[in-house]
Amino acid sequence: MVSRNRAELLRACLQSLEKSQGRESLQIVVIDNGSTDGSENLGAEFPNITRFLRLPKNFGLTRAMNIGWRAAEAEYVLFLHDDTELEPDTVARLAAVLDETADAAAVCPLLVDEEGEPAPQLGSLPPGGTYAPAEPGGREPVAVTYPRGAALMVRAFVIKSIRQVDERYGQFGSDADLAAHIRRGGKKILLVPDARARHQGGGEYDALRRADFLLGRAAFTGKYLGFGAGLKATLGSILASLVSFRWGELRYTIAGQKIDGTQE
């Protein structure tokens, strides 16, 4: 779990994890990405956390994710955003599905909103920046193409096979990249409807966040569809920003400024 300056959300997420079934068998690894709001002190509130790593500055989401999964010693790694809260049986249920399904490389819970209704979760590849709520229609796991990375359990060997989550991505794109890698390997990602995680999500896209998404999409396109397609995606993003008079977005996109801590 990576967090930066969202102490209350992180606290709620950790509280939900502490109530998990089989808590004694779970390793909880928190990467504090250079927080200054008190988040960096939450380790004292949760003494049973396996590791609470405080980074001296913001390293960006993707690099911090790599630090986190390498600090774990487990067969399965659950990447979790700090604005999620899990039901007590969610982690155990996800692990059970991986135990039972050899051709599944990853699983995810059903993301729900505060009212318990399905929240935006399923995207397309290449990533388009929008997500649709899942329509589980039952209790059995269903194969999905690309679930957002708010809550995603992956077999550790899948990440080791690519050495690390691709750090060309900033805030956006690493979850799509993992999904594409899994599909290219002929494995499945399963959504488990009876495992649930409440996800807040949302938030407005400012110029930097929008540029980060556009750069991530271009990086993904170039990686999986070829250099020419990636260049076309980059130029298209620049042109779209220009004709829409989004000057901040244009400046960040031309500069290649992703959200990775360097802008600070």
Residue 160 lies in a domain: yes
In this structure, are 159 and 182 located in the same domain? yes
In this structure, are 144 and 180 located in the same domain? yes
The pLDDT score that the predictor gives to residue 93 is 97
Residue 263 lies in a domain: no
In this structure, are 103 and 20 located in the same domain? yes
| 3-class secondary-structure state, position 195 | strand
Residue 63 lies in a domain: yes
The pLDDT score that the predictor gives to residue 120 is 93
Six token digits for residue 202: 């949302």
Radius of gyration, CA atoms only, the chain? 18
Nearest alpha-carbon partner for 5 in 93, 122, 62, 83: 83
In this structure, are 57 and 182 located in the same domain? yes
In this structure, are 151 and 237 located in the same domain? no
In this structure, are 226 and 166 located in the same domain? no
**pLDDT over 70, % of the chain:** 98
CA–CA dist 108, 100 (Å, integer)? 15
The pLDDT score that the predictor gives to residue 264 is 59
In this structure, are 177 and 225 located in the same domain? no
198 phi/psi in degrees, rounded to 5: -80, 130
For 66: left if phi > 0, alpha if psi spans -120 to 50, otherwise beta; the answer is: alpha
In this structure, are 221 and 162 located in the same domain? no
In this structure, are 35 and 59 located in the same domain? yes
CA–CA dist 232, 22 (Å, integer)? 49
In this structure, are 24 and 154 located in the same domain? yes
Residue 66 lies in a domain: yes
Residue type for 107, please? Answer: V
Contacts of 17 (CB under 8 A, 6+ apart): 23, 26, 28, 86, 91
The pLDDT score that the predictor gives to residue 203 is 66
Residue 260 lies in a domain: no
Distances (CA, A) of 104 to 96, 143, 176: 12, 9, 16
pTM given for the model: 0.91
The pLDDT score that the predictor gives to residue 59 is 87
CA–CA dist 80, 250 (Å, integer)? 31
Residue 50 lies in a domain: yes
Residues in the chain, pLDDT under 50: none
In this structure, are 98 and 138 located in the same domain? yes
Per-residue DSSP letter, 24: G
Please give the residue range of the domain that contains residue 219: 207-255
The pLDDT score that the predictor gives to residue 145 is 96
Residue 104 lies in a domain: yes
Query: DSSP letter string over 25-91?
Result: G---EEEE-S--SSGGGGGGT-TT-SEEEE-SS---HHHHHHHHHHH--SSEEEEEBTTEEE-TTHH
| Domain end marker among 199, 220, 245 | 199
Residue 42 lies in a domain: yes
In this structure, are 173 and 67 located in the same domain? yes
- Domain count for the chain, please give it: 2
User: Which CATH number do you get for residue 25?
Assistant: 3.90.550.10
Burial class (CB within 10 angstroms; exposed 0-12, middle 13-18, buried 19+) of 201 = middle
Six token digits for residue 22: 């089989």
